[in-house]
Structure 1
């Protein structure tokens, strides 16, 4: 269990630092920023009847991360697990079979684990894909499902804008475009954890349509899991609480 790490009273919140253009390399959620995020829930349709009845919570191991400082940060353990959940929530609308979905979700849980900091960190997708390809047994043992070849490609390209794809990227995208775009969509929907609204999901930058229920669901997952974490729950407990709150009865 990681001890909650919000800024001490009197220190600026992530939102204040973002507004001042002074965000640090490692960015941990705090109560003031989370309260602001919670107060700006996007509109959305009711989600409970539209979600799959069974999803698997895949929580990446903190030891898989390139830097200890990133495990509790905005690109850390909970971000990866939420993106893996969103992949599973979104996939039925795309006609993907459960085995393919779980393989992509397993990779999605790890997609940022080789980040060095919480800024742009270009190339972290390829860096993580190489790590994932060489640690498939570790991830498979932990999750009970193996990331597929297309899932590794999706991780490699998740941080690369489509318009900057080189020839190798384009070739991989032709073979695995749906997996790439699904991971990009799930990753984008978890941007409600970021402290400024201009960084929140932009459907115009995504290749797949955003279901009308998805923004509110993604926002709820962020708020509920981050609030539980700030209240002292470990990562897995915080995510379980958030999942229970949005799971259909």
Structure 2
């Protein structure tokens, strides 16, 4: 267990966001999480029966460029949840086993080279370079090697995940054509985890995506955020918090 009790009187992320004074490194707090929990999206459909449990990869602390980012809103829990959401989207869109593994690997590493929790332009490109140089670390976590062509596509997806489609350069458009399915699904999975952010206007906006997100997946993504972040605030390890959250999809665990 690790204590994460905030300093007495410290402003919440929500207060800081409303005052436009968010710090470079941002860690979830109880007041912000309580506000998030009160605003759960309505479930318009029940989750389908999954053919097999979704894959969730939990990145290692050594993957991150800055120690302060490990436990931040772009840290271990965010990357792991995005990998799980990517796995769910992969099932929804019929990706095969190898493409699903490549997508989940990309998701688990997509924010590992961030320098701060703000916009940090270029962090996708830096993470893609790190992924290319450290594939063994990722595939060890994955439990299997990736075909070289899919490793390359995963790196492309990581490199473009933080670039809006409308801002793609001609070179980036050419790169997109090499891995459109991985890029589209990674962007969608990353978008779904935006329920962790302290202002509702920053929450998922499917308008910016190229694929449709099934309606049942929004409440699932929301619950993954609330359950994992609350468990972490209660003192669970990152792994423990993520396992607890994942039980909403595997209730018999």
In structure 2, the partner of 1:208 is 211
Contact 1:52 1:89 in 2 (8 A): no
1:49 is paired with a residue whose SS is coil
Aligned residues: CA RMSD: 1.4
Q: Which residue of 2 aligns with 1:240?
A: 243
Say if 2:56 and 2:87, in contact at 8 Å, map to a contact too: no
- 2:33–2:229: 8 Å Cα contact kept in structure 1? yes
Rounded to whole Å, the distance in 2 between the matches of 1:29 and 1:52 is 33
Q: Give the TM-score taking structure 2 as reference length.
A: 0.94
Q: CA deviation at 1:175?
A: 1.7
1:45 to partner: Cα distance: 3.5
| Partner residue, 2:131 | 132
1:197: which partner in 2? 200
Contact 2:72 2:117 in 1 (8 A): yes
List gaps (5 residues or longer) in structure 2: none
Range with bigger deviation, 29-38 or 91-100: 91-100
Query: Which segments of 5 or more consecutive residues in structure 1 lack a partner in the other structure?
Result: none
For residues 92 and 69 of structure 1, the distance between their equivalents in structure 2, rounded to whole angstroms, comes to 33
**Equivalent residue for 1:24?**
23
1:248 offset after TM fit, Å? 5.8
1:80 and 1:111, CA in 2 relative to 1: closer, same or farther beyond 3 A?
same
Distance in 2 separating the partners of 1:59 and 1:52: 22
Alignment coverage as a number of residue pairs = 248
Question: Which residue does the alignment assign to 1:107?
Answer: 106
1:54 alignment counterpart:
53
Question: Does 2:101 correspond to 1:98?
Answer: no
Query: Residues 152, 241 of structure 1: CA spacing in aligned structure 2 closer, same or farther, 3 A cutoff?
Result: same
CA distance in 1, matches of 2:85, 2:50: 10
Q: Distance in 2 between matches of 1:146 and 1:40?
A: 40
